[in-house]
Amino acid sequence: MGSAKIYYDADADVTVLEGKKIVFLGFGNQGAAQAQNVRDSGIPNDSILVANREDHYAEDAKAKGFHVEHDFEKAAEVADILFVLVPDQVQPRVFNGSFAPKLKADATIVVASGYNVFFKLLEFKPTQNVVMVAPRMIGSSVRSLYQKGRGFPCFVSVEQDGTGKGLAIALALSRAIGATKAGAIASSVYEETAMDLFAEQGLWPNIIMLFREAFSVLKEAGCSDEALCYEMWMSKEPAEIFERAAEDGFVLQLKHHSSVSQYGQLNGAAKLDGSAARAHFKDILHNQVLNGKFCKEFAKIEDALEKDDESNPLNKLYKDADESEMGQAEKRVRARLTELL
Ligand code: NDP
């Protein structure tokens, strides 16, 4: 594919939002940050409505001066633009149940993640616009970077252009939330979902496995739990390496290391045969992520993830991780640290 188009403030005209009612479904991490940024960008408060059940999120929105509607169907009826900012797993139920039947035929639906659109779990009318404005930042940073007058990385795309104005609206919204200041990258729900799920199901499981096995081999060789936990992550050295990678370059950050380390890492990586990992990654990407297999499997367990008992598969996975050699060692080291405090 090569290089992507990047949109800046100058590419976006916020006047296309004039007279439009912007509804934020959800006032959590992203909802609270984006709604405040949009208002601070000059969209009148009366043009913004927060749709939320009657609870502390709603209270927070009211305390921040927003109009709040608890009745989702009423919120849907007035929305020209709807930001869908509730957790991905609840979106199909809430959107299809309460919003889709009442939304205007020319409404613009905005998602902050590709998942539900890519897997066609949300029901849209062909006349509606469906756009993605997906910050690559947690909500608190979306807000704080905006307040500091800085932008943040964000993906933007038009997935369905029912009115012909999808891109203009998506860019205006990207600018209003503060994303085009640093440059919003043209993307798609396909790209966002592929990268997101691949990182979660391909890359990071391998990193967890590599740490687990490395820990075990070094422990077998006589290293203590304390030394290992600190060496491998508790010193925050890996976090610093990734920070340097973002600033200086993925490989060029190595120049901050000793020559022994630089040579060991570069020479070691060059000698590794990546073909088995590559085949494994391709399998995860094509036969688990993109073909919808994971999406189907996840749909069967998502209700159980809300439960706080043994039927929740996450509880069992956490228990197994806790009982592993590395989990037990870390627990002991942390308990000793607490004693020392
Ligand atoms: P949150 O978990 O912070 O969402 C909380 C909001 O969702 C609250 O307003 C909550 O209100 C509402 N909500 C939760 N459950 C329900 C329900 N069953 N019915 C109705 N409303 C519900 O979500 P995020 O901000 O983390 O994520 C929103 C979107 O942004 C997702 O698509 C996510 O992928 C994307 N995103 C998130 C990022 C992040 O920083 N977390 C980063 C980039 C994108 P109440 O409980 O009162 O109903």
Domain boundaries, the chain: 6-187, 192-340
Of 64, 86, 115, the residue with max ligand 1 atoms within 8 A of its CB, to mutate for a pocket test, comes to 86
In this predicted structure, the answer to whether residue 190 has a pLDDT above a threshold of 80 is: yes
Q: Tokens in use for 98?
A: 């309460």
∠ CA 92-201-170, nearest 5°, is: 45
What pLDDT score does 341 carry? 56
Ligand 1 atom closest to the Cα of residue 54 is 47
Prediction pTM value:
0.93
What pLDDT score does 312 carry? 93
Task: Tell me the CATH number for domain 6-187.
Answer: 3.40.50.720
Q: Average model confidence (pLDDT) for the chain?
A: 96
What pLDDT score does 321 carry? 95
**Distance from Cα 12 to the centre of ligand 1, integer Å:** 26
Q: 65-110 pLDDT, tens per residue?
A: 999 999 999 999 999 999 999 999 999 999 999 999 999 999 999 9
What pLDDT score does 1 carry? 66
Q: What mean pLDDT is predicted for residues 51-68?
A: 97
Alpha carbon distance 322, 19 (integer Å): 54
Intra-chain end-to-end CA distance of the chain, in Å: 53
**Distance from Cα 89 to the centre of ligand 1, integer Å:** 9
Of 23, 24, 30, the residue with max ligand 1 atoms within 8 A of its CB, to mutate for a pocket test, comes to 30
Of 27, 29, 52, the residue with max ligand 1 atoms within 8 A of its CB, to mutate for a pocket test, comes to 29
**Distance from Cα 190 to the centre of ligand 1, integer Å:** 21
What pLDDT score does 340 carry? 59
Alpha carbon distance 202, 195 (integer Å): 10
What pLDDT score does 273 carry? 97
Q: What mean pLDDT is predicted for residues 46-70?
A: 97
Percent of the chain with pLDDT over 70: 99
What pLDDT score does 302 carry? 87
What pLDDT score does 241 carry? 97
Q: What mean pLDDT is predicted for residues 213-235?
A: 97
Alpha carbon distance 283, 277 (integer Å): 10
Q: What mean pLDDT is predicted for residues 258-282?
A: 98
What pLDDT score does 306 carry? 85
Residues with CB under 6 A from ligand 1: 26-31, 52-53, 55, 57, 85-88, 90, 94, 112-113, 134-135, 138-139
What pLDDT score does 284 carry? 98
